[in-house]
Amino acid sequence: MTSPPTKPAPTPLDRLRLGEALELASHAIGLSDPNPRVGCVIGSSDGRVLGRGYTQRAGEGHAEVMAMRDAQSQGQSIRGATAWVTLEPCAHHGRTPPCSLALLEAGIARCVIAQIDPNPLVSGGGVAQMRQGGMQVDVLDTEDPLVSTARELNPGFFSRFERGRPWVRAKIACSADGKVALADGRSKWITGEAARADGHHWRRRASAIMTGIGTVLADNPRLDVRAVTTAVQPLRVVLDSQRRTPVDAAILTPPGAALIVASPTSAGPPLPGTEIWTDISLRDGALDLTALLRALAHRRSVNELHLEAGPTLTGAMAAADLVDEWLIYMAPMMLGEGKPAAHLPRLACLEDARRYTWIDSTTIGSDLRLRMRRTGLSTTFTRPPHGASESTASA
Ligand SMILES: NC(=O)c1ccc[n+]([C@@H]2O[C@H](COP(=O)([O-])OP(=O)(O)OC[C@H]3O[C@@H](n4cnc5c(N)ncnc54)[C@H](OP(=O)(O)O)[C@@H]3O)[C@@H](O)[C@H]2O)c1
C-alpha cells in the first residue's frame, strides 16, 4: 500500500527541523536495535520547538511518542502543530500502538517525513492513515540530500527489508604493508588504544558481530562492546563448522548472547546458554554465507553486521561479494611476512580487481582510519523481485 507521494519543496524551517530530528535519531544508536534509529521534532509554524524525541529500546517509545511526551512534560500544547520525523510513522500494532494514530489523536496538523518505511507492514500505510485522518503529510523527494543522510543512519534496516540481508561492515586492523597478524598468528596489538576504542563505536552500531573459529582459537576475543557505553550488546556469531569452540571461550561469556553456526553433520560438547545453528546449508563444502546472512536477517532481525575475522572468513565474505563497507585501521608499522587482511583468489589481471571508493579517512591516535565501499554501492537498494525480505531464509 503506497500513497501517491506529495513532493513540495521543503521550507527552510522543514530542513532545519529535519536536520535536528536526524541528530536526535543518532542517539538511538546502540539503543533501538532492531528497530530503526528515528528522530522527531514537534514544533509550531512560528518556529517554536515544543517537543523532541528519538526511538527507545524495542518495545518502548518510538520517536513520535517520545516527542509528544516531551511536549506534555513541559506543558506545551501540540494541537495544530507540525511533526518532523526522519522515518514514516508506523501504522501497525507491533510491540507498541501505531504512531500514525497517536499523532492524529494528539491533533498534529502536519507531518513532514524524510523517508517511507521499507517494512511492508508499514510502507505507505502510516502516510495513508494520517491523510485519511485529515492531516497534511509531506514526504521528501527521494533525491533530496536529507534522505541520503537519513538512510545512512539506518543502512542495515533498509538492507534487511530491501535486500533481505544485513549491511555488512568488515573491520580490519593492519600494518602499513597490509598485514593483520604475524606469521605465527599473533596480532595483539597492531593498532593503538584510541583506534581500538573507536572500533567499539562501530561494534555498538551493529546488531551482530561475526568472526571465524580461527580467530576464536588464536585470540580468544570477547568481541563485545566495552570501550563505549551501550544499552544493548550485539549478538556474537562464530562460524565454526566442526564445533571446535572451547566451552570456556571468552566469546561465550556475558554480556551479550553468542551463536555458533556449525555444519549440519557437526558434533560437539553442549555449550550451556549458547544457541547453535546446524541448519545452514553448505556450498562448496563450506557454510553458505549468503544463506547465513539471510537467516541472520530473517530469524534474528540483524540490521548491521560487523565482521571482525581473520583472513579466511574475511576473504570468503569478500569473494562472495557480501562486504558492503570496509573499516580499516592502519598502523604506521611494517610487519613484513605475516597474515594478509583477506585470502582472495589470485587474479589474472589488474582489471579483475574489486574496486572500492574511499568514503572517509581520518587519523585516530597514531593510526589511520579508512572507510571504503564497493564503487557505485549506495544505501538505496533495489527491492528483491518477490518480496524476498519477507520470505523464509533459504537456510
Ligand atoms: N588484525 C585484525 O584485524 C584481525 C582480526 C581478526 C583476526 N585476526 C587474526 O587472524 C588470524 C586468524 O585467521 P583465520 O583466517 O584462521 O581465522 P578466521 O577467518 O576468523 O576463521 C576462519 C575459520 O572460520 C571457519 N569458517 C566456517 N565457515 C566458513 C566459511 N564459509 N568461510 C570461511 N571460513 C569459515 C573455518 O573453520 P572451520 O572449517 O573449522 O569451520 C575457517 O578456518 C589470527 O592470527 C588473528 O589474530 C586479525
Contact 320, 295 (CB under 8 A): no
Question: Is 392 inside any structural domain?
Answer: no
Indicate whether 298 and 178 sit together in one domain.
Answer: yes
Indicate whether 141 and 220 sit together in one domain.
Answer: no
Question: Is 135 inside any structural domain?
Answer: yes
Which position has the grid cell 580490519? Answer: 172
Please state, as a whole number, how many other Cβ atoms lie within 10 Å of the Cβ of residue 180: 21
Shortest-distance Cα residue to atom 11 of ligand 1: 310
| Domain end point (choices 112, 132, 153) | 153
Q: How far apart are CA 22 and CA 146, in angstroms?
A: 9
pLDDT at 195: 98
Ligand 1 close to Cβ of residue 190 (< 6 A): yes
Indicate whether 204 and 128 sit together in one domain.
Answer: no
Q: How far apart are CA 116 and CA 154, in angstroms?
A: 13
Query: Counting Cβ atoms within 10 Å, is residue 357 exposed (0-12), middle (13-18) or buried (19+)?
Result: exposed
pLDDT at 304: 98
Please state, as a whole number, how many other Cβ atoms lie within 10 Å of the Cβ of residue 334: 11
The β-bridge partners of 29 are none
- From the list 20, 64, 308, 325, the catalytic residue is 64
Cell of 28: 538511538
Ligand 1 close to Cβ of residue 185 (< 6 A): yes
**CATH number, domain with residue 32:** 3.40.140.10
Indicate whether 199 and 258 sit together in one domain.
Answer: yes
pLDDT at 395: 25
| Domain end point (choices 153, 181, 205) | 153
**CATH number, domain with residue 182:** 3.40.430.10
Active site residue 337: no
Cell of 352: 579483475
Question: Is 186 inside any structural domain?
Answer: yes
Prediction pTM value: 0.94
Residue 261's closest CA among 64, 395, 70, 77?
395
> Probe ligand 1: pick from 180, 216, 237, max atoms within 8 Å of CB?
180
Question: Is 395 inside any structural domain?
Answer: no
Longest distance between any two alpha carbons in the chain, whole Å = 69
Contact 168, 374 (CB under 8 A): no
User: Which DSSP helix (H) or strand (E) runs through 318?
Assistant: helix 311-319
Indicate whether 261 and 327 sit together in one domain.
Answer: yes
Please state, as a whole number, how many other Cβ atoms lie within 10 Å of the Cβ of residue 385: 6
Question: Is 1 inside any structural domain?
Answer: no
Indicate whether 120 and 168 sit together in one domain.
Answer: no
Query: Counting Cβ atoms within 10 Å, is residue 331 exposed (0-12), middle (13-18) or buried (19+)?
Result: buried
Indicate whether 147 and 171 sit together in one domain.
Answer: no
Which residue positions in the chain have pLDDT lower than 50? 1, 384-395
pLDDT at 375: 85
Contact 99, 132 (CB under 8 A): no
Cell of 182: 604475524
> Probe ligand 1: pick from 237, 241, 261, max atoms within 8 Å of CB?
241
Indicate whether 242 and 355 sit together in one domain.
Answer: yes
pLDDT at 3: 54
Contact 160, 32 (CB under 8 A): no
Question: Is 393 inside any structural domain?
Answer: no
Indicate whether 137 and 240 sit together in one domain.
Answer: no
Question: Is 261 inside any structural domain?
Answer: yes
The sign one gets for the Cα dihedral 144, 148, 149, 153 is positive
Indicate whether 90 and 192 sit together in one domain.
Answer: no
The β-bridge partners of 369 are 329, 362
Indicate whether 120 and 178 sit together in one domain.
Answer: no
Shortest-distance Cα residue to atom 39 of ligand 1: 241
CB-hemisphere CA count at 13 Å for 265? 3
Contact 122, 91 (CB under 8 A): yes
pLDDT at 382: 64
The β-bridge partners of 238 are 211, 260
Ligand 1 close to Cβ of residue 259 (< 6 A): no
Residue 63's closest CA among 29, 86, 33?
86
User: Could you give the number of structural domains in the chain?
Assistant: 2
CA distances from 108 to 2, 49, 136, 159 (A): 21, 14, 9, 31
Indicate whether 61 and 171 sit together in one domain.
Answer: no
Ligand 1 close to Cβ of residue 220 (< 6 A): no
Question: Is 167 inside any structural domain?
Answer: yes
Q: What ligand 1 atom has the least distance to the C-alpha of 219?
A: 47
Ligand 1 close to Cβ of residue 178 (< 6 A): no
Cα-atom radius of gyration of the chain, to the nearest Å?
A: 23
Contact 80, 71 (CB under 8 A): no
**10 contacts: CB under 8 Å, gap ≥ 6:** 18, 112, 138, 140, 144, 146
| Domain end point (choices 97, 123, 153) | 153
Ligand 1 close to Cβ of residue 318 (< 6 A): no
User: C-alpha angle with apex 312: 270 to 358, nearest 5 degrees?
Assistant: 125
Domain that holds residue 51: 12-153
